[in-house]
Chain A
Amino acid sequence: MVGAGWDIVLADALSSPTLRVVGTGSAILGAVSGALGCFALLRRQSLVGDAVSHAALPGIALVFLLTGTKTSLGLLTGAALAGWLGMLFVQAIVRTTRLDDDTALGLVLAVFFGFGLMLLTFLQRKPKASQAGLDTYLFGQAATMLREDVVLLSCVGVVLIAIIALFWKEFILITFDREYASTVGYPVHRLEILLTVLLVGAITLGLRTVGVILMSAMIVAPAAAARQWTNRSHRMVGLAALFGAIAGASGAILSSLVPNLPTGPTIVLIATTWALASLLIGGRRGLVWQWLRRRVLQRKLAEEAVLIGLYDLALAHGDERRGHSEGAIRALSPHAVGVRGRLRRLKQEGMVEETSPGSWILSKKGRDEAKHLVEKSRETS
Chain B
Amino acid sequence: MLHFLLWRLGRAALTIALVLVICFVAVRGTGSPVDILYPEDGTPEQRAELEKQWGLDRSLPEQFAVYVANLARGEFGVSIIERRPVIDVYAEKLAPTLQLAGCALVIGIAVGIPLGVLAALRRGRATARLAMALAFTGYAVPHFIIAIVLILVFGYHLNWLPSTGAATPAHYILPAITLALPLIAAIARYMRSTMLDVMSQDYVRTARAKGVREPRIVALHVIRNALLPLITVLGLEVAGLINGSLIVETVFSWPGLGKVLTGSVSRRDFPVLQFGVIAYSAVVVFINLLVDVLYSVADPRVRVEA
- Real complex partners, A and B? no
Show the binding face of B for A, using Cβ within 8 Å: none
Show the binding face of A for B, using Cβ within 8 Å: none
